[in-house]
Each structure stands twice: as C-alpha cells, then as structure tokens.
Amino acid sequence: MFVRGGTEVNLHKYLGPMPTTVTGDATQPVYTNQSVTNIQDILFLENRDRKYDPDIYVMRGVYQRSDNDFDLSQFGLFLQSGTIMMTFHYNDMIKEIGRKIMDGDVFELVHLKDYDSLNDLPAALKRYYVAGDCSWATEGFSQLWYPHLWRVKLNPLVDSQEYKDILNTITVDNSAGPGGTSTGSTPLVDIMSTYDRYVSINEAVITQAETDVPKSGYDVSHIFSLGADKDGDTVRTPFVASDIDPLNGNLTADTGTFSPVASQNPTGWLTGDGLAPNGLPVTAGVTFPTSPLQGDYHLRLDYMPNRLFRYDGRKWTRIEDNVRTNLTAGDANNKTLRNSFTNNPTTHTLTNGDTIPEKQPLSHVLRPKADY
C-alpha cells in the first residue's frame, strides 16, 4: 500500500485552452465555458494557448531517485535522464485539485532547486515538469482490487507556447540577498528560457554562413578573360602603343578598352554578378552614357534583374544579368524576380472589384475541372 510522506511539489492546475471568441470561421471552435475537455485546434487536436490556475496546489508525491545511466540498447550512446515517474494518492489528489492529474498539469519540484548555478541569476533555478502519461499504478491496488495510487510521467518543461501563461506570469524578486534592496522583478521566462541563447547561436550561424557563401551561384570574378577589339576579334594585349600618351602614360581621349565580349565572359548557372570582367570599371544608371568609348561597361538599374551592357563601338550589347543575390532574405536580397515573387505580399484589384493576391501557387491557379 501507499506510504504516507513523499516529497512536496507545487502543482499548477491546467484549466483548458484560452477562451475563444466568434471569428466568423466555422472551422474554429467557440466555447461558452472554459474546460479541460475543450480543443482549441480541431485540425491538429492541439491546445497551444493554455490557461492555468493562478493558485498553487501543494501535493505530496513519491518517486524513486536514481543515478543517470547510459543506455546501450540502441544505436549509439544515450543518457537516461529528465523523465520522472511520480506516484500520488488518489484520495489526496481528488481532495486537493478536484480531479485527476492529467496531461498538461505543471509541477514545480521544490527539492530540486539549484541554489548555486553558474549563471548570474537573481534567484534559485527552479525545476518545472509537465505531466504526460497518467494511469493507475500497478502497485496501488488493494486486496479487493480497488486502485489507490495514480502514476504520472513527468517531463522537463520547455519554453514553448503552451506554457506562456506560467512563464510570463510568475516573477522573481531581484533582491541582492537576505535583507537586500529589491530592484524590481524578473519574469520566470527570462530566467529559465534558453530562447535568447538559441537565437544568438542561430544568428552567429547565419553570419558565418553569409561569410562563407555570401551570394547564390558561383563567383567567377577571379577568372581572367581575353579582350576583344571593335570587330570582336580576340586580342591578348589590353591596349595598343599608339593609344598611350608618352608624356604621362595615360590613355588618350579617343582610346577604347579591349574588354571581353559576352562570348568571352565566363558563363554558367547563376554566375552573373553585374560586375565587369577582369576588374574593369563599370558605370550604373537608368540610361546609357551619352559619349561612351569602345569597350565601356554600363549596368542598367531599370532592368529586373539589373543588366550589364558593353559598348562595342556602334551599339550596346548585353553581357550578363545580375542574378547573384544574398541568400538571406532582406533588403539586400531584392534584385531578382525570384525574390520579388517569393516575398510578394501585395494584392491586385480587378475591374470587377475582386481582390486577388499577386503571389499564387499553381495548385490554386491550375485547378482540375470535373468531367461532365
């Protein structure tokens, strides 16, 4: 039978999902009262926005403490820790909270507080667990086969949407110590949550990824390309001697650059970066320059994506499109139609007054028609 005593735990009673209001969506349930039997999301059968009783219920439970052992029964090495199987007396449970302990109830195990954590915390680090599977304990049946013990599986609480009502409500006094001056209170979520640390790790990974792979496609700026004269023939010298001023070594005013044409520029999947080959200068604008020289490059910004042109002495010819963009979504990743379509939140109003989104998946546009 059950031995009186056990360890003292604080129970945060689960009351059910947050109250709902009429939204006009027939798929969303609307309840007139709050109950643990209500279901917030009928599709996924989830209660993500949970409400907990502000009062704390003190109960006593029994569980077996054990050392952490390595589990070698599967592929790899696993450390068994975290899960606690705790047993409660059925009559005490009904008397204290008015119902059985169920999935969603949150326990604070007072005896597992960490008073000497390495982090500079304003209070002892509390240990919270969430009730999972609940059933009758096999050792709790009497000689007449009446059950007396309720067995609960407890898993460590994590900072998720389901427990925001607890983590955001409970605060800790920022006292310097016994008799110290209080500097306010800190929400429990700021002490227990590892969300900020995960965010900082993710941002560091993104920063390093942007350094290793700054843009999509392939970088061909290190590849040297032979130039071409005004007839498009390949030349191996960048300039001719008659085009250089012997007094100062500069190019004469009517000199053109023997720059590569489109056929000599390296091509491939996502290699266009809008830069002139061989590190040659390039101008940019929405119109072409009025007095270009043979071999000049100009980037037209009014094209989407931006397009690089070369002046061959008679006309401007296309070299490449600037299709290499930052892989991280943002203002720097807005040079291609791929990004403008993927991140397009705008809508279009038809002449009949109907409003449709400009970004539409093919499954919505190409709908199958029934055969009659």
Query: Does residue 167 sit in the same domain as residue 235?
Result: no
Give the model's pLDDT for residue 250.
Answer: 55
The segment with the largest mean pLDDT, out of 85-94, 250-259, 313-322, 342-351, is 85-94
Calculate the average pLDDT of the chain. Answer: 79
Q: What is the DSSP letter of 248?
A: T
Query: Does residue 18 sit in the same domain as residue 167?
Result: yes
Residue 114 to residues 109, 126, 148, 349: CA-CA distances in angstroms?
11, 7, 33, 60
Query: Does residue 184 sit in the same domain as residue 198?
Result: no
Rounded Cα–Cα distance for residues 86 and 7 (Å): 10
**Residue 1 pLDDT exceeds 50:** no
Query: Does residue 177 sit in the same domain as residue 243?
Result: no
Exposure of 83 by Cβ count < 10 A (0-12 exposed, 13-18 middle, 19+ buried)? exposed
Q: Which of 174-183, 261-270, 292-301, 304-313 has the lowest mean pLDDT?
A: 174-183
- Asked if residue 292 belongs to a domain, the reply is yes
Neighbouring residues of 325: CB distance < 8 A, sequence distance ≥ 6: 215, 216, 332, 333, 334, 335, 336, 339
- Asked if residue 215 belongs to a domain, the reply is yes
Which carries the bigger pLDDT value, residue 304 or residue 240?
304
For residue 305, say if its preceding peptide bond is cis, omega within 30 degrees of 0. yes
- Asked if residue 361 belongs to a domain, the reply is no
Which carries the bigger pLDDT value, residue 297 or residue 184?
297
Q: Are 221 and 273 in contact (CB under 8 A)?
A: yes
Say whether 62 sits in a helix, a strand or coil: strand
Average pLDDT over residues 73-97: 79
Last residue of a domain, one of 145, 166, 189: 189
- Asked if residue 252 belongs to a domain, the reply is yes
Residue 217 to residues 225, 266, 283: CA-CA distances in angstroms?
19, 13, 23
* Whether the model pTM is above 0.95: no
Q: Which domain holds residue 225?
A: 194-343
Exposure of 69 by Cβ count < 10 A (0-12 exposed, 13-18 middle, 19+ buried)? exposed
Neighbouring residues of 150: CB distance < 8 A, sequence distance ≥ 6: 87, 88, 89, 90, 93, 100, 101, 134, 135, 136, 137, 140
**Residue 362 pLDDT exceeds 90:** no
For the segment 272-292, what is each residue's pLDDT rounded down to a tens digit?
Answer: 888 888 888 899 999 999 888
Q: Are 344 and 359 in contact (CB under 8 A)?
A: yes
Q: Which of 36-50, 92-106, 254-268, 303-317 has the lowest mean pLDDT?
A: 254-268
Query: Does residue 144 sit in the same domain as residue 212?
Result: no
Say whether 188 sits in a helix, a strand or coil: helix
Query: Does residue 93 sit in the same domain as residue 218?
Result: no
Query: Does residue 35 sit in the same domain as residue 134?
Result: yes
Give the model's pLDDT for residue 242.
Answer: 47
- Asked if residue 369 belongs to a domain, the reply is no
Backbone angles phi, psi at 154, to 5 degrees: -110, 130
Rounded Cα–Cα distance for residues 261 and 315 (Å): 13
Last residue of a domain, one of 157, 189, 221: 189
- Asked if residue 349 belongs to a domain, the reply is no
Query: Does residue 43 sit in the same domain as residue 146?
Result: yes
Give the model's pLDDT for residue 288.
Answer: 95
Q: Where does the pLDDT of residue 87 fall: very low under 50, low under 70, confident under 90, or very high at 90 and above?
A: very high
Domain tally for the chain?
Answer: 2
Query: Does residue 198 sit in the same domain as residue 275?
Result: yes
Rounded Cα–Cα distance for residues 243 and 81 (Å): 79
Rounded Cα–Cα distance for residues 260 and 257 (Å): 9
Query: Does residue 292 sit in the same domain as residue 182?
Result: no
Phi-psi region of 71 (alpha: psi -120 to 50; beta: other; left: phi over 0): beta
- Asked if residue 140 belongs to a domain, the reply is yes
Last residue of a domain, one of 161, 189, 217: 189
Query: Does residue 212 sit in the same domain as residue 277?
Result: yes
Give the model's pLDDT for residue 213.
Answer: 85
Return the bridge partners of 244, or none: 251
Neighbouring residues of 337: CB distance < 8 A, sequence distance ≥ 6: 304, 305
Query: Does residue 215 sit in the same domain as residue 182?
Result: no
- Asked if residue 185 belongs to a domain, the reply is yes
Q: Which of 125-129, 188-192, 311-315 has the lowest mean pLDDT?
A: 188-192
